[in-house]
Amino acid sequence: MPDAYILGIESSCDETAAAVVRSGEQIISNVVASQIATHQPFGGVVPELASREHLRAIVPVVKQALLEANQTYESVDAIAVTQGPGLAGALLVGISYAKALSYALEKPLLAVNHLEGHIHAVLLEERQKGNQEVNFPVLALVVSGGHTHLYLAAQRNAGWTYENIGHTRDDAAGEAFDKVAKLLGLGYPGGPIIDRLAPHGDPKAVKFPPAQIKHRDRRTRGADDDRNHNRGKSEAAIERERFDFSFSGIKTAVLRYVEVHEMHPIIENLRQAMSNILRPKLEDYLAYSDRKTLDLVASFQRAIVDDLVGKTLAAASAHHVATLFVTGGVAANSELRSTFGLASAKQGLPVYFPSRPLSTDNAAMIAAAAYPKFLARDFAPMDFSAEAGLVLR
């Protein structure tokens, strides 16, 4: 099989991205235009502004990706684009442009699930490092601003299949980071700044109730259904246990802590000061934060990390997996990386993360996930559309 150069396009949220990846294993170029500055004044992503920004950025970003890869529109072998999940209006910009390119250039079009992209970010980088050996079954935790999902991933022929064995019942972990940061006057996006501030606080200072979903709720069916359905089945078959998450409680607990400890004046002061600085640095945040805020930030991050690591490792051992992937924007978090590293080593389980630039949204992961589809000639029809709630299976 000769090398295939796939142009990937990603526009599901607030990053316009394009990349060229060779045969699913080598990043030739990877361009990401972030819209953070546009959304920052609103403290979160504004969907309509996101679509407009994608429209503005998509042509130059794709051009830049081709230029940096020393490729042309004509030389690439296929166009891959994110179909969903994500913001519908944002997805449509990438999809329309990818369709136009595919039609005009007469190149195959590949539709990729964004979550599959995050999983393939790990594989892409491992292959790039020369590690062709990934042992199955693989458990992948996809943890980002929009998602907190656990997937059992398997390779079938050329393609991949995924079984969801857990997801968040309410907020995604990244969403909790963003909402808590907003609440504390730290600005948007919250994850990166909480990550940098947390080492300056005491993670044991504030106790949060563990975000525990009751065992009975973890199953997909109700108790009566279970009893009828399970008659005559082995213990293992009955226990298709679910490992669901819940992060809205901790956000409310932070809010309550702020109110009880009358932290509003210091938070308002911090918010004001940061809004007057163009790109606040860590020292700026530290200069305007008091001990209580830093302790709260550190304790919040510890609670989220412990919950993600605890449930993921419990799922890994219940499903006897051989390898763990942790990917998505929150996988950039330092404490999450180190805690996963230590805890999975204890369990004798290899854990792989993407590098930080490949943890957050990018198009290299989309081009990489498209490669098995390209080999299988699993091309997208010209009438396919964006699917905001696209499920991965």
| Residues at the contact surface with ligand KG4, assessed by CB under 6 A | 13, 144-146, 174, 177-178, 189-192, 195, 328-330, 332-333, 360-361
Residue with smaller CB distance to Zn ion, 18 or 298: 18
Pairing verdict, β 109-113 and 78-84:
parallel
Distance of closest approach, residue 235 Cβ to ligand KG4, in angstroms: 37
Q: Which is nearer to Zn ion, 142 or 184 (CB)?
A: 142
How many angstroms separate the CA atoms of 46 and 49, rounded?
A: 5
Which of 113, 354, 361, 386: binder of Zn ion (CB under 5 A)?
361
Give the chain's count of helices (H) and strands (E): 16, 10
Closest CA to 173 of 355, 393, 359: 359
Is the Cβ–Cβ distance between 187 and 280 less than 8 Å?
yes
For Zn ion, what does the binding mask look like between residues 133 and 172, x meaning CB under 5 A?
-----------x----------------------------
- The CB-of-32 to Zn ion minimum distance in angstroms stands at 12
The helix/strand/coil state of 389 is coil
Which residue number, 189 or 201, has a Cβ lying nearer to ligand KG4? 189
Burial of 198 (0-12, 13-18, 19+ CB in 10 A): buried
Among Zn ion, ligand KG4, none, residue 177 binds (CB under 5-8 Å by kind): ligand KG4
Closest distance to Zn ion from the beta carbon of 168 (Å): 14
Longest dimension (CA), the chain: 67
The binder of 128, among ligand KG4, Zn ion, none, by C-beta within 5 to 8 A per type, is: none
Helix, strand, coil percentages, rounded to 5, for the chain: 50, 15, 35
Provide the minimum distance between the beta carbon of 67 and ligand KG4 in the complex, in angstroms, as a whole number: 24
The smaller minimum CB distance to Zn ion, of residues 266 and 336, is found at: 336
Least distance from ligand KG4 to the Cβ atom of residue 230, Å: 36
Structural tokens at position 303? 């609670």
Whether the CB-CB separation of 327 and 353 falls below 8 Å is answered with: yes
